Amino acid sequence: MFLSNISAVFLKLNALRVLFSCMILTSVEILVNKSSPKKPRSRNIFKALFCCLRAQDVSQPPPPAQDTLLPPEDNGTIAKVPETSLLPEVTPEDEGKICVVIDLDETLVHSSFKPISNADFIVPVEIEGTTHQVFVLKRPHVDEFLQRMGELFECVLFTASLAKYADPVTDLLDQCGVFRTRLFRESCVFHQGCYVKDLSRLGRQLNKTLILDNSPASYIFHPENAVPVVSWFDDLEDTELLSLLPVFEELSEAEDVYAKLQQLRAP
Protein backbone atom coordinates (compact mmCIF):
# COMPACT_ATOMS: atom_id res chain seq x y z
CA MET A 1 0.00 0.00 0.00
CA PHE A 2 2.74 2.36 0.99
CA LEU A 3 4.84 1.48 -2.05
CA SER A 4 1.92 1.86 -4.46
CA ASN A 5 1.22 5.27 -3.00
CA ILE A 6 4.85 6.19 -3.44
CA SER A 7 4.81 4.97 -7.05
CA ALA A 8 1.81 7.15 -7.73
CA VAL A 9 3.63 10.07 -6.20
CA PHE A 10 6.63 9.58 -8.42
CA LEU A 11 4.52 9.25 -11.53
CA LYS A 12 3.07 12.63 -10.70
CA LEU A 13 6.52 13.91 -9.91
CA ASN A 14 7.84 12.89 -13.31
CA ALA A 15 5.27 15.19 -14.83
CA LEU A 16 6.40 17.98 -12.53
CA ARG A 17 9.97 17.48 -13.61
CA VAL A 18 9.04 18.55 -17.10
CA LEU A 19 8.09 21.88 -15.62
CA PHE A 20 10.79 22.32 -13.00
CA SER A 21 14.53 21.89 -13.04
CA CYS A 22 14.67 20.31 -9.60
CA MET A 23 12.64 17.94 -7.49
CA ILE A 24 10.69 19.94 -4.93
CA LEU A 25 10.50 18.12 -1.65
CA THR A 26 7.65 20.22 -0.44
CA SER A 27 5.66 19.07 -3.48
CA VAL A 28 6.49 15.46 -2.71
CA GLU A 29 5.29 15.90 0.81
CA ILE A 30 2.10 17.52 -0.37
CA LEU A 31 1.45 14.70 -2.85
CA VAL A 32 2.19 11.98 -0.31
CA ASN A 33 0.00 13.70 2.16
CA LYS A 34 -2.86 13.79 -0.34
CA SER A 35 -2.55 10.14 -1.28
CA SER A 36 -2.09 8.71 2.21
CA PRO A 37 -3.58 11.12 4.70
CA LYS A 38 -3.63 8.50 7.45
CA LYS A 39 0.07 7.76 7.25
CA PRO A 40 1.88 10.90 8.32
CA ARG A 41 5.04 8.96 9.23
CA SER A 42 5.69 8.09 5.60
CA ARG A 43 6.03 11.75 4.66
CA ASN A 44 9.02 12.15 6.89
CA ILE A 45 11.08 9.61 5.01
CA PHE A 46 11.50 11.93 2.05
CA LYS A 47 12.36 15.06 3.87
CA ALA A 48 14.50 13.26 6.43
CA LEU A 49 16.84 11.58 4.01
CA PHE A 50 17.52 13.67 0.95
CA CYS A 51 17.94 17.35 0.56
CA CYS A 52 17.03 19.05 -2.65
CA LEU A 53 15.99 22.54 -1.81
CA ARG A 54 15.72 25.24 -4.41
CA ALA A 55 15.96 28.94 -3.74
CA GLN A 56 12.24 29.10 -4.48
CA ASP A 57 11.54 26.61 -1.70
CA VAL A 58 12.55 29.18 0.86
CA SER A 59 8.98 30.41 0.98
CA GLN A 60 7.82 26.99 2.18
CA PRO A 61 10.58 25.71 4.43
CA PRO A 62 10.38 22.18 5.73
CA PRO A 63 10.94 21.72 9.43
CA PRO A 64 14.50 20.69 10.29
CA ALA A 65 15.20 16.98 10.62
CA GLN A 66 15.40 15.61 14.13
CA ASP A 67 19.09 14.98 13.84
CA THR A 68 19.98 18.40 12.54
CA LEU A 69 22.77 19.49 14.83
CA LEU A 70 22.56 23.14 13.94
CA PRO A 71 18.96 24.11 14.56
CA PRO A 72 17.69 27.52 13.53
CA GLU A 73 17.77 30.21 16.15
CA ASP A 74 14.45 31.31 17.55
CA ASN A 75 14.59 34.55 15.65
CA GLY A 76 15.39 32.80 12.35
CA THR A 77 18.96 34.02 12.16
CA ILE A 78 21.95 31.88 11.34
CA ALA A 79 22.75 29.20 13.87
CA LYS A 80 25.90 29.58 15.95
CA VAL A 81 29.07 28.80 14.09
CA PRO A 82 31.50 26.41 15.74
CA GLU A 83 34.97 27.78 16.26
CA THR A 84 36.77 24.90 14.60
CA SER A 85 37.04 24.57 10.82
CA LEU A 86 35.03 21.95 9.00
CA LEU A 87 38.06 20.73 7.08
CA PRO A 88 41.31 19.30 8.42
CA GLU A 89 44.69 20.77 7.48
CA VAL A 90 45.54 20.64 3.80
CA THR A 91 47.59 17.55 2.99
CA PRO A 92 50.97 18.03 1.27
CA GLU A 93 49.43 16.43 -1.82
CA ASP A 94 46.82 19.21 -2.07
CA GLU A 95 49.06 22.10 -1.04
CA GLY A 96 48.45 25.09 -3.31
CA LYS A 97 45.36 23.57 -4.93
CA ILE A 98 42.00 25.29 -4.99
CA CYS A 99 39.36 23.64 -2.81
CA VAL A 100 36.16 22.61 -4.61
CA VAL A 101 33.06 21.76 -2.64
CA ILE A 102 30.94 19.35 -4.65
CA ASP A 103 27.29 18.57 -4.05
CA LEU A 104 25.86 15.04 -4.37
CA ASP A 105 22.14 14.88 -5.18
CA GLU A 106 21.05 16.11 -8.59
CA THR A 107 24.65 17.19 -9.21
CA LEU A 108 26.45 13.82 -9.35
CA VAL A 109 23.62 11.32 -8.78
CA HIS A 110 19.87 11.08 -8.47
CA SER A 111 18.28 8.84 -5.88
CA SER A 112 14.75 7.72 -5.19
CA PHE A 113 12.69 5.12 -3.40
CA LYS A 114 11.05 4.15 -6.66
CA PRO A 115 12.58 0.95 -8.00
CA ILE A 116 14.72 1.73 -11.05
CA SER A 117 15.68 -1.19 -13.32
CA ASN A 118 18.94 0.42 -14.41
CA ALA A 119 20.02 1.72 -11.01
CA ASP A 120 23.78 1.92 -10.62
CA PHE A 121 23.56 1.31 -6.90
CA ILE A 122 20.90 0.06 -4.52
CA VAL A 123 21.65 1.26 -1.02
CA PRO A 124 19.78 -0.03 2.03
CA VAL A 125 19.02 2.74 4.50
CA GLU A 126 17.34 2.25 7.84
CA ILE A 127 14.73 4.79 8.73
CA GLU A 128 12.73 4.54 11.91
CA GLY A 129 13.54 0.85 12.33
CA THR A 130 12.67 -0.14 8.77
CA THR A 131 15.21 -0.77 6.03
CA HIS A 132 14.40 0.94 2.74
CA GLN A 133 16.14 0.41 -0.58
CA VAL A 134 17.36 3.61 -2.19
CA PHE A 135 17.88 3.40 -5.94
CA VAL A 136 20.75 5.53 -7.20
CA LEU A 137 21.49 6.62 -10.75
CA LYS A 138 24.88 8.07 -11.61
CA ARG A 139 24.94 11.17 -13.77
CA PRO A 140 26.49 10.46 -17.16
CA HIS A 141 30.28 11.00 -17.24
CA VAL A 142 30.50 11.32 -13.47
CA ASP A 143 33.43 8.89 -13.21
CA GLU A 144 35.53 10.80 -15.73
CA PHE A 145 34.53 14.08 -14.13
CA LEU A 146 35.51 13.04 -10.62
CA GLN A 147 38.79 11.54 -11.71
CA ARG A 148 39.88 14.77 -13.41
CA MET A 149 38.60 16.96 -10.60
CA GLY A 150 40.64 14.92 -8.16
CA GLU A 151 43.77 15.65 -10.17
CA LEU A 152 43.09 19.38 -10.34
CA PHE A 153 41.64 20.27 -6.95
CA GLU A 154 41.29 19.45 -3.30
CA CYS A 155 37.79 17.96 -3.59
CA VAL A 156 35.31 17.96 -0.74
CA LEU A 157 31.91 16.28 -0.84
CA PHE A 158 29.38 18.57 0.83
CA THR A 159 25.79 17.41 0.91
CA ALA A 160 22.76 18.50 2.87
CA SER A 161 21.54 14.92 2.87
CA LEU A 162 21.97 12.65 5.84
CA ALA A 163 25.22 10.72 6.24
CA LYS A 164 23.43 7.39 6.63
CA TYR A 165 22.34 7.73 3.01
CA ALA A 166 25.06 9.88 1.48
CA ASP A 167 28.08 8.14 3.00
CA PRO A 168 27.40 4.66 1.54
CA VAL A 169 26.43 6.22 -1.79
CA THR A 170 29.75 8.09 -1.85
CA ASP A 171 31.61 4.88 -0.97
CA LEU A 172 30.19 3.35 -4.14
CA LEU A 173 30.54 6.46 -6.29
CA ASP A 174 34.03 7.55 -5.31
CA GLN A 175 36.00 4.35 -5.77
CA CYS A 176 39.26 6.27 -6.29
CA GLY A 177 39.02 8.36 -3.15
CA VAL A 178 38.75 11.72 -4.89
CA PHE A 179 36.95 13.29 -1.95
CA ARG A 180 39.41 14.20 0.77
CA THR A 181 36.62 15.02 3.21
CA ARG A 182 32.88 14.38 3.30
CA LEU A 183 30.54 16.85 4.94
CA PHE A 184 26.89 16.08 5.58
CA ARG A 185 23.76 17.83 6.78
CA GLU A 186 25.09 18.56 10.25
CA SER A 187 27.83 20.68 8.68
CA CYS A 188 25.28 22.93 6.98
CA VAL A 189 23.82 26.05 8.50
CA PHE A 190 20.05 25.99 8.71
CA HIS A 191 19.07 29.44 7.52
CA GLN A 192 15.57 30.61 6.67
CA GLY A 193 14.37 27.11 5.84
CA CYS A 194 17.44 26.07 3.85
CA TYR A 195 20.50 24.00 4.54
CA VAL A 196 23.24 26.38 3.47
CA LYS A 197 26.85 25.38 2.86
CA ASP A 198 28.77 28.17 4.53
CA LEU A 199 32.13 28.24 2.77
CA SER A 200 33.60 30.55 5.39
CA ARG A 201 33.52 27.65 7.88
CA LEU A 202 35.68 25.34 5.78
CA GLY A 203 38.99 26.71 6.95
CA ARG A 204 40.20 27.58 3.45
CA GLN A 205 40.86 30.94 1.78
CA LEU A 206 37.64 32.03 0.16
CA ASN A 207 39.38 33.28 -2.96
CA LYS A 208 40.73 29.74 -3.34
CA THR A 209 37.39 28.00 -2.84
CA LEU A 210 34.69 26.97 -5.33
CA ILE A 211 31.33 25.29 -4.93
CA LEU A 212 29.61 23.14 -7.54
CA ASP A 213 25.95 22.71 -6.69
CA ASN A 214 22.63 22.42 -8.50
CA SER A 215 20.84 24.38 -5.80
CA PRO A 216 21.50 28.14 -5.54
CA ALA A 217 20.08 28.03 -2.01
CA SER A 218 23.08 25.96 -0.96
CA TYR A 219 25.53 28.76 -1.73
CA ILE A 220 23.36 31.72 -0.93
CA PHE A 221 26.10 33.08 1.41
CA HIS A 222 28.79 32.85 -1.28
CA PRO A 223 27.25 33.14 -4.75
CA GLU A 224 30.49 34.58 -6.12
CA ASN A 225 32.25 31.27 -5.45
CA ALA A 226 29.70 29.19 -7.29
CA VAL A 227 29.85 27.21 -10.48
CA PRO A 228 26.16 26.48 -11.08
CA VAL A 229 25.13 23.17 -12.58
CA VAL A 230 21.78 22.12 -14.00
CA SER A 231 19.87 19.65 -11.84
CA TRP A 232 20.02 16.10 -13.13
CA PHE A 233 17.45 13.35 -12.68
CA ASP A 234 17.55 10.71 -15.38
CA ASP A 235 18.59 12.13 -18.75
CA LEU A 236 21.09 9.59 -20.03
CA GLU A 237 22.17 12.00 -22.77
CA ASP A 238 23.24 14.64 -20.27
CA THR A 239 26.73 16.07 -20.93
CA GLU A 240 26.79 18.78 -18.27
CA LEU A 241 29.69 17.32 -16.30
CA LEU A 242 31.78 16.86 -19.43
CA SER A 243 31.13 20.42 -20.53
CA LEU A 244 32.18 21.72 -17.11
CA LEU A 245 35.61 20.12 -17.25
CA PRO A 246 37.22 22.81 -19.46
CA VAL A 247 35.81 25.44 -17.11
CA PHE A 248 37.39 23.74 -14.12
CA GLU A 249 40.66 23.27 -15.99
CA GLU A 250 40.83 27.05 -16.29
CA LEU A 251 39.72 27.65 -12.74
CA SER A 252 42.33 25.27 -11.35
CA GLU A 253 45.06 27.68 -12.38
CA ALA A 254 43.43 30.80 -10.97
CA GLU A 255 45.23 32.91 -8.42
CA ASP A 256 41.88 34.28 -7.36
CA VAL A 257 38.65 32.43 -8.18
CA TYR A 258 36.58 35.63 -8.03
CA ALA A 259 38.54 37.26 -10.83
CA LYS A 260 38.58 34.12 -12.94
CA LEU A 261 34.86 33.43 -12.48
CA GLN A 262 34.07 37.03 -13.35
CA GLN A 263 36.13 36.63 -16.47
CA LEU A 264 34.38 33.37 -17.38
CA ARG A 265 30.94 34.85 -16.72
CA ALA A 266 31.60 37.88 -18.94
CA PRO A 267 29.75 37.67 -22.27
| C-alpha to C-alpha distance for 6 and 102, rounded to whole angstroms | 29
Decide if residue 106 touches Mg ion (CB under 5 A). Answer: yes
What is the footprint of Mg ion within residues 213-252 (CB under 5 A)?
214-215
Which are the catalytic amino acids? 103, 105
Site mask, Mg ion, residues 124-163, x = CB under 5 A? ----------------------------------------
| C-alpha to C-alpha distance for 22 and 7, rounded to whole angstroms | 18
Q: By rule CB under 5 A, what count of residues binds Mg ion? A: 6
CB of 232 to Mg ion, least distance (A): 9
Q: Shortest CA distance to 151 belongs to which of 172, 177, 126?
A: 177
- CB under 8 Å to 77, separation ≥6 — which residues? 191
- Select from 10-18, 103-111, 179-187, 219-227 the region that touches Mg ion (CB under 5 A): 103-111
Closer of 36 and 107 to Mg ion (Cβ): 107
Decide if residue 103 touches Mg ion (CB under 5 A). Answer: yes
Decide if residue 57 touches Mg ion (CB under 5 A). Answer: no
What is the footprint of Mg ion within residues 156-215 (CB under 5 A)?
214-215
DSSP β-ladder status, 226-228 and 130-138: unpaired
Residue 15, amino acid: A
- DSSP H helices, the chain, are 2-19, 25-35, 40-49, 142-152, 163-173, 240-251, 257-265
CB of 17 to Mg ion, least distance (A): 14
CB of 36 to Mg ion, least distance (A): 26
Closer of 111 and 215 to Mg ion (Cβ): 215
CB of 161 to Mg ion, least distance (A): 8
Q: Shortest CA distance to 106 belongs to which of 241, 225, 265, 244?
A: 241
| C-alpha to C-alpha distance for 174 and 156, rounded to whole angstroms | 11
* Angle (nearest 5°) at CA 175 between 205 and 143: 80
Contact set with Mg ion (CB under 5 A): 103, 105-107, 214-215
